[in-house]
Amino acid sequence: MSCADDQLCSCLFVCRMRYCKLTERGCEDLASALQSQHSSLRELDLSYSDLGDSGVKLLSAALRDPNCKLTTLKMWRCELTKRCCEDLASALQSQHSSLTEMDLSLNSLGDSGVKLLSAALRDPKCKLTTLKCQKGQTMEWQESENRPIRSAKAGVSPGSAVQEMPYRNLCPQAMDRSARMSWCRLTEKCCEDLASALQSQHSSLRQLDLNHNNLGDSGVKLLSAALRDPNCKLTTLK
């Protein structure tokens, strides 16, 4: 890396490359830059590219590097599957990872992918406060972040009943600790793992959005049991 490259790395904090048609090849160069001792990059947006699971594997290795200072990683519709979740989970559990926000929306992670990410959330070394994996997005979620939370809603498949539970331990600091997994084709199979993560003493999750998934009654039953656990800090469940 040249002196000019070093200077550029040291002053670049945000890098947005949406719709840049990046592939696995581009990830190799990005990973190298992130691991540079001169890198000061905090936010990286690679959305709407063809990174694939192999590209994320390279980026995940960079996240585990002590030189990497990245706190926000966005990868909307990057052709990702459950296969990349093992690498991402490993990165999140690294003591060197400084990642606090990760957006994997519009990817097909499935139950098994969520299972791996849930395990990472239970790790005390995981610093993640915001995880977004939704399959679709509406303005309702954007607006609700600025409104006081009065209740938690457990949304199941269309036509199912929605139960409201009183909020607890609500505090302003909790507002940004959220996981959004709507439209992710999740089923009741993932609820046991999510419930386990919510009951972990290390979990700091406050908001969980599971709208437009087929969790079923048995899935909601598992999540309801987690809400009764004293370790659960969740204030909003949709």
Q: How far apart are the C-alpha atoms of 16 and 50, rounded to whole Å?
A: 15
Q: How far apart are the C-alpha atoms of 45 and 19, rounded to whole Å?
A: 10
Prediction pTM value = 0.64
CATH superfamily for domain 9-108? Ribonuclease Inhibitor (3.80.10.10)
- Which class does domain 113-138+174-238 fall in? alpha beta
Instruction: Please state, for a pLDDT cut of 70, what percent of the chain lies above it.
Output: 77
DSSP 133-146: --SS--HHHHHHTT
Banded pLDDT at 235 (limits 50, 70, 90):
confident
pLDDT tens string 59-70 = 999 999 999 999
CATH 3.80.10.10 intervals, the chain: 9-108, 113-138+174-238
For helices 110-121 and 85-92, give the axis angle rounded to 10 degrees: 10
Instruction: Please state, for a pLDDT cut of 90, what percent of the chain lies above it.
Output: 35
Pair of tokens at residue 210:
């599971």
Q: How far apart are the C-alpha atoms of 108 and 23, rounded to whole Å?
A: 18
